[in-house]
């Protein structure tokens, strides 16, 4: 049986505490709080949830900012930082690390593949 919450199919073989983290905006800590509020054991498998449990979870999660709403809010926050010309907005715009990490030797995730000077030589992996 597929359990669908907030437009996401939850993995049925996982525990509820872990399965809820498949929803964007719900991590382990928030998942534990939701289950405590709903009165559901965190070790229950998702496939073993009753219809009543699923309804309670949907109601609690429906009150939170998750998935599309959360993604939209984050993008608007980044856009606002860029428009006001803040340092963080500038770093977002340039694709550099935003939170003070060093860039001389690391940060390949943000910067992408290495580029050589004047792009004359191709960098091999």
Query: pLDDT for 32-75, tens place per residue?
Result: 999 999 999 999 999 998 999 999 999 999 999 888 899 999 99
CB 17 within 8 A of CB 31: yes
CB 96 within 8 A of CB 107: yes
Q: What is the pLDDT at residue 117?
A: 76
Do 39 and 78 belong to one domain? Answer: no
Residue 27 in this model has a pLDDT that exceeds 80: yes
Query: pLDDT for 12-22, tens place per residue?
Result: 899 999 999 99
Whether residue 124 lies inside any domain: the answer is no
Q: What share of the chain is helix, strand, coil (3-state, %, to 5)?
A: 50, 5, 40
d(CA 112, CA 17): 34
Q: What is the pLDDT at residue 3?
A: 84
pTM above 0.85, yes or no: no
Do 104 and 75 belong to one domain? Answer: yes
Q: In terms of residue numbers, what domain contains 52?
A: 3-63
CATH number of the domain to which 11 belongs: 1.10.8.50
Q: Is 7 or 84 the better-scoring residue by pLDDT?
A: 84
Whether residue 19 lies inside any domain: the answer is yes
Do 40 and 85 belong to one domain? Answer: no
Domain count, the chain: 2
Query: pLDDT for 82-120, tens place per residue?
Result: 999 999 999 999 999 999 999 888 899 998 888 877 766
d(CA 37, CA 62): 14
Do 46 and 81 belong to one domain? Answer: no
Whether residue 100 lies inside any domain: the answer is yes
Q: What is the pLDDT at residue 115?
A: 80
Do 28 and 57 belong to one domain? Answer: yes
Q: Which residues contact 7 (CB under 8 A, 6 or more apart)?
A: 67
Beta strands in the chain (DSSP E): 3-5, 8-10
Do 59 and 84 belong to one domain? Answer: no
């Amino acid at each position: 049986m597929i359990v669908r919450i907030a437009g996401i199919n939850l993995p049925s073989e996982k525990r509820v505490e872990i399965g809820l983290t498949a929803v964007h905006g719900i991590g382990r800590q928030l998942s534990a709080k939701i289950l405590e509020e709903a009165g559901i054991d965190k070790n229950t498998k998702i496939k073993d949830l009753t219809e009543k449990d699923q309804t309670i979870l949907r109601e609690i999660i429906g009150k939170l900012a998750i998935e599309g709403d959360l993604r939209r809010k984050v993008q608007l926050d980044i856009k606002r930082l860029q428009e006001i010309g803040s340092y963080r907005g500038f770093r977002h715009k340039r694709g550099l690390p935003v939170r003070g990490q060093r860039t001389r030797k690391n940060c390949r995730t943000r910067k992408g593949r290495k580029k050589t000077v004047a792009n004359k030589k191709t960098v091999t992996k």
